[in-house]
Amino acid sequence: MARLALHSALTLALLFGLLFAVATAVLYVLEAPLWLALVVALFFAGLQYAISPFIIQWVHKIDWVTPDSIDSGIASLIRSVCHEHGLREPRFGVISDGNPNAFTFGHYPGNARVVITTGLLEVCDTEQRRAVVAHEMGHIIHWDFVVMTVAATVPLILYYIYRFGIRVRSRRDGGVVLLVALGAFVAYLISQYIVLLLSRVREYYADEFSAHTTHNPNALATGLVKIAYGLARSRPPAEKEEQMVTASAGMKPFGIFDATYGKSMAVATAGAYGLTDDGAQATTHAADAMKWDLWNPWAFFMELRSTHPLPAKRIRALGSIAEKMGQARAFVIPDRAPESYWDEFGMDLLASALPLIGLVVGLAVGVGLGFAQAMPVTGFACIALGLGIGWLAKLAFTYPMGRFAPGRVASLVGEIKVSGVRPIPVRLEGQVIGRGIPGLYWGDDLVMQDDSGFILLQYRQPIAVLEFLFGLFRAEGFIGQRVIAEGWYRRAPVPYLELWKVHMPNGDTHTSHNRGLAFLLASLLTAGGLIVALMGMAGQM
């Protein structure tokens, strides 16, 4: 849910960004007064609020259906909530995608839309589906569309005060205005994090609403384990075939489910939490997956920049609600880490900073050997050499090329010493069940399921347009295929596999050239800097 909300926001930002940037540039060139800039900012905020729901409907393949045609439990819950709160029932949509997800959008509670994926129907049991939809209903009841729109307008206004305030620094009172503008910029940065904090708080309230509405907080907790960590597995083939016959008969009239395609999305539960037939082992896998959120230092910093709380914290909060209701927690998570992970975190930061360190060292050497000797070319060559060496060192750390050992999703998500910088080279075998962003017809990321769970496959290429073209024309052909994916398992904070190679059943291999091009550019920079620096020093001698 966090990933889907984030990418919906990014999609809207792309559509509004260009127009907003042009308008800002025009105002700036024309030296418009601050009050006019603020009016324009408020206009754009209002425009985005007004048309965002229509854009979301446009970029996602949503089939609008009646809840009763999908799940009578969901339908009864929606009717009950709306009756209790005097609301009109929201429009209900389904995205035909194996990636389990749900989201809601709209202008106000009276015209809200709730959307789920077919993957959610397959992964979650009846109670978990009700709990997830109740969470979305909580957003509607709490007017979160309006609250977050108003909150997001504040950073926008502060940014405009900063941008248009610094222009008047040359006037008689320019010094005071400049201080105000700089203060507005600091407030703008702080307000961004406050808005994200508000969003995370409202997620907790939506979770609480779900818990009290369903009287089953553990249903949402176990559902989150499946959705957030991918800990769900396929049923045995016989059960899978039987399920598909039933599901296709009920959904096909609405154009949202095809029996042939559906076989790639049969990831319904098996056992207590869909991990294994052994409920104790399922709980262990889930608890292991949550340890990264609670113990890895990267988790804290990444949550600060996230619209949603870390799943483990939400699950822990739901456990507290369950205890207050006289129920046992679904998961018991150890409070104390067995060791400190700050040393790995420090090494990750060092690896991330290696290009900058190389640049600084190269600059220092270049000043002594080049610029101080009136040889600027040699100086710049030393800078390039330092940057290239630092870049190569970082790439070697972030893209280790050892053996891509076979792995399983359930085991990978339990790894704590992993981050967006520190990966695990791994080889996974499974079936592609959907897109990373359900229903987004140009989405380039995919979701793959093995016998223990499912994971996001991040497709990266050196040029962004190549990713777009892959998503638009080729990604659909991967869905339903059984593939072998090689790449680097990372967590930031969502577990994902950054793809290197994908081996198809017909023998074709699709390769990401992102790492290769980066190594090529870093090597050329290093070699070029070294050659020019040596030639310069030789000439000096």
Catalytic residue check, 136: yes
Residue in the structure block whose two tokens are 């025009």:
26
Which CA distances in Å does 454 have to 147, 192, 483, 511?
34, 32, 13, 21
Which CA distances in Å does 97 have to 101, 271, 504?
9, 23, 20
Helices assigned H by DSSP within 263-341: 279-295, 297-304, 311-324
Which CA distances in Å does 489 have to 420, 443, 499?
9, 20, 9
Residue in the structure block whose two tokens are 């002594």:
368
How far, in Å, CA of 156 to CA of 152, rounded?
7
How far, in Å, CA of 157 to CA of 172, rounded?
24
Could you tell me where the beta strands, DSSP code E, fall in 176-266?
A: none
How far, in Å, CA of 188 to CA of 113, rounded?
31
Rg (CA), the chain: 26
How far, in Å, CA of 18 to CA of 539, rounded?
50
Annotated active-site residue in 122, 136, 203, 486: 136
> Residue 311 is encoded by which pair of tokens?
């799943």
> Residue 244 is encoded by which pair of tokens?
């598909």
3-state helix, strand, coil in the chain (%, to 5): 65, 10, 25
Catalytic positions: 136
